[in-house]
Chain A
Amino acid sequence: MRWLTAVLLIPLAALLIYVSGDLPDRGDPDAPANLHISPELVALTERDIKIPNLVSAVLADVRGYDTLGETLVIFTAGLAVLLVLMRGPRRADGTRPSANTRSGPSARSRDR
């Protein structure tokens, strides 16, 4: 299994390194990814938002929907961890292994 995986993956590495010859040079100012939207973002930040940090401006304003989605993903992940780990097997004395459910919503759900 390991040999088969290695035999399959080494050509993949060679292929990736080979096609990297077609990618733009590191730090190339004329790379296609650097030409398209970056000037608009800089102009927009300077004209409308007027804060120095371009990354914050793009993160919270220009791509506000995107960041809202990411925040919801993180929140959902936290709830998923809570839900997965709160329903465990009961011990003999009827308590759950997790002693973490002391107060708040988690304590109420423990009593169900």
Chain B
Amino acid sequence: MTEQHDSIILNFVVRVLLVPFIFVFGLYVLVHGEASPGGGFQAGAIVAAGLVLARLTAGAEHGESRLSTGVLVWLASAGITIYLVTGIVPMLMGASYLDYGVLPLEWFNAVAGHERTNRAMGIFIVEAGIFMGVFSVLVIMYDHLTQRLSDD
């Protein structure tokens, strides 16, 4: 099921044309999640689909060497931790849990040169955490299910 395919056309189309486009589109969906339909869940699903497509053609062994289960577990944990810490920081500032309004992010407007409320930036940080979690978990599930099945 996950062996490498030799077709040069398939490899070219998938690895040069499709997968980079899917990754860029997924990141676009993530960072434009505030202004257009999108967000962490959708972007995670899209990028995970791109990686699964790469693994389907390049073979599981090759794909595994690029992004192993250990790395993915760390990535998912980092996503959850980002979310939890974003919730705890407002508590330290004296507000309630997950109240992004008091996040100390005013300096970021001057650096990036735009006007955003603290809540909008808190939402983006949280969406990035969700993205990491969803992406890693979907790829972990695909890896383990297919590897176990193809070993039969």
**Interface of chain B, main secondary structure:** helix
A88 adjacent to B80 (CB under 8 Å): no
B76 adjacent to A75 (CB under 8 Å): yes
Nearest CB on B from A101, distance (A) = 7
Partner of A49, one of B120, B133, B137: B120
Chain A residues within an 8 Å CB radius of B101: 48
Contacts A64-B126, A85-B145: A97 and B151 contacting too (C-beta < 8 A)?
Answer: yes
B144 adjacent to A48 (CB under 8 Å): no
Alpha-carbon gap, A82 to B54, bound state (A): 21
- Any B CB within 8 A of the CB of A34: no
Chain A residues within an 8 Å CB radius of B35: 51-53
For chain B, residues 39 to 93, give those with C-beta under 8 angstroms from any C-beta of chain A. 39-40, 61, 64-65, 68-71, 73-74, 76-77, 79-80, 83-84, 87
Our count of residue pairs bridging A and B at CB distance below 8 angstroms stands at 136
A78 adjacent to B83 (CB under 8 Å): no
Partner of B133, one of A71, A105, A106: A71
**Residue of B36, B80, B145 with most partner-chain A CB within 10 A:** B80
A98 adjacent to B151 (CB under 8 Å): yes
For chain A, residues 40 to 55, give those with C-beta under 8 angstroms from any C-beta of chain B. 48-53, 55
Chain B residues within an 8 Å CB radius of A82: 69, 73, 140, 144
- A interface size (C-beta, 8 A): 39
User: Which residue from chain A places its CB closest to the CB of B80 in the assembled complex?
Assistant: A75
- B interface size (C-beta, 8 A): 50
- Any B CB within 8 A of the CB of A77: yes
Partner of B122, one of A61, A72, A74, A75: A61
User: Which residue from chain A places its CB closest to the CB of B34 in the assembled complex?
Assistant: A51
Chain A residues within an 8 Å CB radius of B123: 49, 51, 56-57, 60-61
Nearest CB on B from A51, distance (A) = 4
User: Which residue from chain B places its CB closest to the CB of A51 in the assembled complex?
Assistant: B34
B144 adjacent to A104 (CB under 8 Å): no
A97 adjacent to B148 (CB under 8 Å): yes
5 cross-chain pairs, A with B, having the tightest CB-CB distances, nearest first: A104-B70, A78-B137, A64-B98, A51-B34, A60-B123
Pairs A–B under 8 Å by Cβ, sample size 14: A52-B35, A53-B37, A53-B38, A59-B39, A60-B122, A68-B87, A97-B148, A98-B147, A98-B148, A99-B64, A102-B64, A102-B69, A103-B68, A104-B74
